[in-house]
Chains A and B, each alone.
Chain A
Amino acid sequence: MSPTPSLLNPGRIRDARQEPNLAVECDYAIVGSGAGGSVAAAVLAESGARVMVVEEGGHYTRRDFNMQEAWAYETLYQDHGNRATEDLSIVILQGRAVGGGTTVNWTSSFRTPDRTLALWAARHGLSGLDAAALAPHFAAVEARLSIREGNPDDVNANNRKLLEGARKLGWNPELIRRSVKGCARLGYCGMGCPLDAKQTAALTYIPDALAAGAHVFTNARVKLIETDRGRAKGVVCDVKDPNSTRPKRFVVYARRGVLLAGGAINTPALLLRSKIVNASQTLGQRTFLHPTVPLVAYYDEPIEGFYGAPQSVACHHFADRGDRVGYFLETAPVHPMLSAVALSGFGDSHRRAMERLAHAQATIALLIDGHHDDPGGRVRADPDDRIRIDYPLTPALREAAVDAINNMARLQLAAGAREVVTLHENPIVIRSEADLAQVDGAAFGPNRHTLFSAHQMGGAAMGTDRATSVVDARGRHHEIDNLWVVDGSIFPTSLGVNPQLSIYAHARLFATEIAQRH
């Protein structure tokens, strides 16, 4: 193992493929450089600890962000833009680069809803984690990411239709707070911001961590967590060696502890691969995706949903539906590739839909999974490192999806749409309220309707009961004293809002308390 005198301040981002050392040593190894990993790295490094972050993806900057879907999805997303549930019924968009999901998300920033925290306390036995404990961390993150009140000037035509339709129907839409500074509203948040206006982890907490001496190793995929007598010792990484067909092995030894922030799906898979003791047997289970149902409306006037802030309006009117699964409404950008994949059909019918792209408005309904009896999905890790995600579309989710399609159509008609077209494989054209009756009878199940997910949560849930959770209310693993999870895996249910800000705040709280220990 190499000594680490060169790792003293300041730190830097290093490509593990060029790294001469085969092993390095630090106090804390952090897996992943997204929302959770970046803020934890900054907090721990600023406390004086020697921190090394290991990132599976590469380091890209505004000069790389060319606003081309072909490059962006292949380069900046998990599985090169091809992640999905096992049956392909849900396309999963998840970041993979320095900055993680924050590099490609659409900037929407919400605090964890009180009712979600209350649910975790009441149903999942999570004590000691409430709004008061999180509040200072939310405030600190909001300040660092320049999150301010929603700006009406951010609302493009795509979002304006959501705003107008929801207002007409009395559904109380709200402007979304965004993590931006000097945003020019180009519309390419999902492909990396070419102006550095989006305040990603790569522009905020990663530089903070580097300034305090942390190092980030890129292009290093953590294969295993090494443990010894109930303690985490470090992480073993595979690094693709351009000069060899075999990956190079790179080890980060951690004297004090290991923090996992590879995101929901990757973190549970890493724990499973590492065969970490799991008394509860819940590891990888209760994975939540906010399964997202899109609906397209066509207007006489151009919408040009490819330009402008992708998300600036949300509607939570249907978030609480009592005993039924709730959902909330937002919009999605309308770029050619993403739209082509989402639109059903092929050949001429698909081409005709694509020819109307400039007039298309896309509203999405995000189903709030896990708040009822719906079990969510399950992450599995194969011996050959392949990750599998099973996610059953239960009758409760189907009911919510059908209700959401109906209400999104009502909203779009209220906003003046000429027609609304569902994304069933047998699309339904809705021109009036009378047409909605067809939606109830339409087939809805795996690959019968387009679904995607941009929010991954759960799989290594927090809880006080070791029988039903993986980590405690501060992210510490129940069985391994110096192993923490600081990403979206910890959430016992889905959040009911976009998760970026909640992941930052929880990770900051956890890291602050870890720092106080040493």
Chain B
Amino acid sequence: MTISRRGFLKKGLIGGAILAGGGVLALMAAPGKRTRAPHGPLAVLTPYEYAIFSAAAARLCPGDGAAGWPTAEALQTGDKLDALLAQLHPGAARDFKRLLHVFESAVTGLTSTGTPRPFTRCSPAQQDRRLEVWRHARVELFRSGYQAMKRLAHALYYSSPQIYERVGYPGPPVVPQSPP
């Protein structure tokens, strides 16, 4: 479940090329949308990185269209991610931030799904498509990147007591505390 991965963007020519191209073209392309704003000050993520992860979490988790389910935003998955990253090895946090930028990149969109747009500017269907392509990619690097985002989004979302009822989990039993 770690979000770190050695040289996530250094390993393999494809990863390196995507990073280099993504960096250049990201400047040329339309900037990403930052419609999802943090609920408080961020420790590790920039507001843009927060918006990228939140956009991915919105598609990975239920809530956007699933009746009765809270949204990932309502459960503050982006804020929880920031708090988690602040506790991890700085190198791990750095790797995950890089992953977010590659995932967001319009170049990545072009090469993976043929949609030359930042992830945050894609339609929900286009966003799902990009996640699917990364999930099943032949390039191991993309599959790892997908798993990093998927596992974190699901861990942060499904550890919230607000979803217990939705999954048929009554929650932990009440345990009487005896005197020490």
Contact = CB atoms under 8 A, between A and B. Distances in A.
B163 A63 contact: no
B1 A82 contact: yes
B5 A358 contact: no
Interface stretch (B32-40, B47-55, B103-111, B147-155): B147-155
A315 B150 CA distance: 32
Interface stretch (A28-36, A321-329, A347-355): A347-355
B158 A340 contact: yes
A88 B144 contact: yes
A70 B160 contact: yes
Interface string A69-90: 1100110000111111011110
Interface in A173-222: 186, 188, 194-195
A382 B135 CA distance: 29
23 contacts: A70-B159, A73-B155, A74-B84, A80-B88, A81-B1, A81-B155, A87-B5, A88-B147, A88-B148, A91-B1, A306-B169, A307-B173, A340-B157, A350-B62, A357-B168, A384-B91, A386-B89, A386-B92, A388-B6, A425-B143, A426-B136, A446-B143, A446-B144
Contacts of B154: 337, 340-341, 346, 350
A9 interface: no
A67 B155 contact: no
A217 B95 CA distance: 32
Most buried by B among A66, A73, A351, A356: A351
B13 interface: no
A79 B177 contact: no
A151 interface: no
A342 B146 CA distance: 14
Given A74-B84, A80-B88, A351-B69, A91 B173 contact: no
Nearest to A354: B167
A301 interface: no
A336 B4 CA distance: 23
A89 B141 CA distance: 11
B66 interface: yes
Interface string B85-106: 0011111100000000000000
Interface of B: 1-6, 59-62, 66, 69, 84, 87-92, 128, 131, 135-136, 140, 143-144, 146-148, 150-151, 153-155, 157-161, 163-164, 166-169, 172-173, 175, 177, 180
A385 interface: yes
Contact of A386 (B4, B62, B87, B180): B4
Nearest to A387: B89
Nearest to B172: A67
Contacts of A382: 91
A74 B83 CA distance: 11
B1 A68 contact: no
Given A83-B2, A386-B91, A425 B136 contact: yes
Contacts of B168: 355-359
Contacts of B2: 79, 82-84, 88
Nearest to B7: A86
Contact of B167 (A87, A336, A347, A384): A336
A83 to B, nearest CB: 6
Contacts of B66: 348, 351
A448 interface: yes
Contacts of A388: 6
Contact of B159 (A194, A195, A337, A358): A337
Contact of B6 (A86, A195, A340): A86
Given A80-B88, A87-B140, A186 B4 contact: no
Contacts of B161: 68
Given A66-B172, A447-B140, A385 B60 contact: no
Contacts of B136: 425-426
Contacts of A354: 62, 158, 166-167
A81 B152 CA distance: 10
Contacts of B177: 63
Given A68-B161, A336-B164, A384-B91, 20 more contacts: A68-B159, A69-B158, A84-B1, A88-B1, A337-B155, A337-B158, A340-B158, A341-B1, A341-B158, A346-B135, A347-B60, A348-B62, A354-B62, A354-B158, A354-B167, A355-B166, A382-B91, A446-B143, A447-B140, A448-B143
Nearest to A62: B177
Nearest to A390: B6
Contact of A335 (B90, B146, B169): B169
B141 to A, nearest CB: 9
Contacts of B159: 68-70, 73, 336-337
A74 B161 CA distance: 16
Interface in A333-381: 335-337, 339-341, 346-348, 350-351, 354-359
A357 B169 contact: yes
A81 B80 CA distance: 14
A306 B154 CA distance: 18
Contact of B84 (A68, A80, A89, A448): A80
A346 B1 contact: no
B74 to A, nearest CB: 15
A194 B175 contact: yes
Nearest to A426: B136
A117 B175 CA distance: 42
B151 A347 contact: no
A359 to B, nearest CB: 8
A387 to B, nearest CB: 8
B39 to A, nearest CB: 16
Contacts of B148: 88
